[in-house]
C-alpha cells in the first residue's frame, strides 16, 4: 500500500521537551505502554486534537510550569517494505487491538502482536479507556462489551466514528529519517505562538 508524501502530522506535548524532539523525534525508551496501539510516537492529522493532547500533557506535568506545545511534523518518505496496519473506522478488530494493548501496563512486557506493526493508523478510543479496561479485567468482560463502552461518552451517548479522533502511531525508530520537525506551537498568554524549527518565531 502506498502512502502519498509529504503529509503534515501533529504531536501534543509540553514546551520543556522541545529541545529533545529537535535532537530526535523517535526515542523508544520514552514511549509509554498501556496506550491504544501500544508503545509508540503518537501523532494525528488534526491540529485541534493535538492541542487537546498538549493541554492534557501540561495538566499532568509534575513541575506545573510547562506550557502546552504542539509539534508540526512532516512525513517526508515511506521506508521500503513498510507494512502498515490501518483501521479505517471503529470495528470489533480495532477494539480487540486496543483492548489487548491497553492491558500491557509495564514497559517491556510481551507485546500482544506476533509482530507489532511499525505504523498504525486508526481511530482513538474514548478518553476513559483506562477505567473501562480495569472494569473489563475485574469483571472478566469480553471485547464485545469493551467495544460498546469505548464508543460512548461518560453520559452513555454513543459517539459517531468521526468524533473519535484520528491517530497515526510510529512504533519503530526506523521512521526517524522519514520525519522532519517543521515547527512547534506553544500556548502562552492565552494564545498559540508558532515557532519555526529555527530561532525565529511568529504569532498565529
Distance of alpha carbon 172 from alpha carbon 59, whole angstroms: 28
pLDDT digits (tens, 9 = 90+) for 9-33: 999 999 999 999 999 999 999 999 9
The answer for 31, left when phi > 0, alpha when psi is -120 to 50, beta otherwise, is beta
* Confidence (pTM): 0.89
Yes or no: say if 173 and 27 are a contact pair by the CB < 8 Å rule: yes
Q: What is the mean pLDDT of each run of 10 residues along the chain (204 residues)?
A: 85 97 96 94 96 93 88 93 90 94 88 94 79 80 87 77 88 95 96 83 41
Amino acid at each position: 500500500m502506498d502512502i502519498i508524501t509529504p503529509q503534515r502530522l501533529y504531536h501534543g506535548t509540553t514546551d520543556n521537551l522541545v529541545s529533545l524532539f529537535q535532537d530526535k523525534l523517535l526515542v523508544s525508551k520514552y514511549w509509554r505502554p498501556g496506550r491504544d496501539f501500544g508503545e509508540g510516537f503518537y501523532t494525528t492529522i488534526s491540529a485541534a486534537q493535538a492541542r487537546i493532547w498538549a493541554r492534557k500533557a501540561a495538566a499532568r506535568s509534575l513541575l506545573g510550569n510547562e506550557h502546552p506545545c504542539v509539534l508540526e511534523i512532516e512525513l517526508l518518505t515511506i521506508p521500503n517494505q513498510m507494512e502498515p496496519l490501518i483501521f479505517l473506522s471503529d470495528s470489533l478488530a480495532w477494539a480487540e487491538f486496543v483492548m489487548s494493548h491497553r492491558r500491557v501496563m509495564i514497559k517491556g512486557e510481551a507485546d500482544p502482536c506476533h509482530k507489532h506493526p511499525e505504523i498504525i493508523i486508526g481511530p482513538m478510543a474514548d478518553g476513559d479507556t483506562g477505567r473501562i479496561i480495569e472494569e473489563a479485567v475485574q469483571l472478566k468482560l469480553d471485547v464485545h462489551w469493551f467495544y460498546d463502552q469505548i464508543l460512548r461518552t461518560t453520559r452513555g451517548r454513543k459517539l459517531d466514528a468521526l468524533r473519535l479522533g484520528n491517530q497515526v502511531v510510529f512504533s519503530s525508530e526506523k521512521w526517524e529519517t522519514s520525519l522532519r520537525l517543521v515547527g512547534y506551537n506553544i500556548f502562552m498568554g492565552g494564545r498559540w505562538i508558532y515557532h519555526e524549527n529555527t530561532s525565529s518565531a511568529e504569532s498565529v
